[in-house]
A and B are shown apart, each in its own frame.
Chain A
Amino acid sequence: AQSVTQPDIHITVSEGASLELRCNYSYGATPYLFWYVQSPGQGLQLLLKYFSGDTLVQGIKGFEAEFKRSQSSFNLRKPSVHWSDAAEYFCAGKGGGTSYGKLTFGQGTILTVHP
């Protein structure tokens, strides 16, 4: 079955520190992968997406993610975290055979940023 897993429920980092949020996927073929951010009481904002090509994807707000087929991973990274990055982050995917926007979401990772 297709699935997306985020192993870390909650991560705490200090402002200015680097960040890596983990995401693992299970799909029969190469999936299309996404990272979304959700601030409290808000909707989802797309940070970046991977469809094909370069495995290192640049997104908004200084985020990037790397697709690693050998590890079935699509981890989100940021070199220096800002207090405003505190939010919940969701990894999502859809199968290569899915011609529409039906996504499978991970459980989410809550990011807390200490000053």
Chain B
Amino acid sequence: NAGVMQNPRHLVRRRGQEARLRCSPMKGHSHVYWYRQLPEEGLKFMVYLQKENIIDESGMPKERFSAEFPKEGPSILRIQQVVRGDSAAYFCASSPSNTGMNTEAFFGQGTRLTVV
């Protein structure tokens, strides 16, 4: 059973371009979470999705950022018109369908975005 798969591992974008980060959850997991880790900081929650639904996007910046988790395929975190401040590591985590109070989330290895 493969773990949470994120790609690409490293992504370089010029200011103003779009960044698309992909996350394939563990098999059997239908809950996906995105976190951002800015340099020398801890991880900050961005968004929680289930298949075709955004459940909690309280940590998402109001502009330029969007996320989706379609019925088929990976979850996508999309950043439009990237700026230098978007440079960070973006982590995806997934948890099983039967999410209960004591369910843990499993993390991917992250995508490191560099905006030049």
Contacts and interface: CB of A to CB of B under 8 A. Distances in A.
Interface of A: 6, 32, 34, 36, 41-46, 49, 51-52, 90, 92, 96, 98-108
Contacts of B31: 100-101
B107 interface: yes
Interface in B66-116: 91, 93, 95, 99-110, 112
Contact of B102 (A41, A51, A102, A105): A51
A47 B80 CA distance: 35
Contacts of B33: 101-103
Given A43-B110, A90-B42, A106-B42, A101 B105 contact: yes
A46 B104 contact: yes
Interface size class on chain B is: 20 to 34
Contacts of A106: 42
Nearest to B109: A43
Q: Is the interface of A mostly helix, strand, loop or mixed?
A: loop
Contacts of A32: 101-102
Contacts of B104: 34, 46, 49, 101
Contacts of B4: 43
B12 interface: no
Given A102-B33, A102-B48, A96 B101 contact: yes
Given A32-B102, A44-B107, A101 B42 contact: no
Closest 9 CB pairs of A and B: A101-B105, A43-B109, A105-B42, A44-B107, A51-B102, A105-B43, A101-B95, A107-B42, A43-B107
Given A43-B91, A46-B104, A102-B33, A90 B43 contact: yes
- Residue of B45, B48, B105, B108 with highest tally of chain A CB at under 10 A: B105
Interface in B25-64: 31, 33, 35, 41-45, 48, 55-56
A103 B105 contact: yes
B101 A99 contact: yes
A4 B111 CA distance: 24
B55 to A, nearest CB: 7
B67 to A, nearest CB: 14
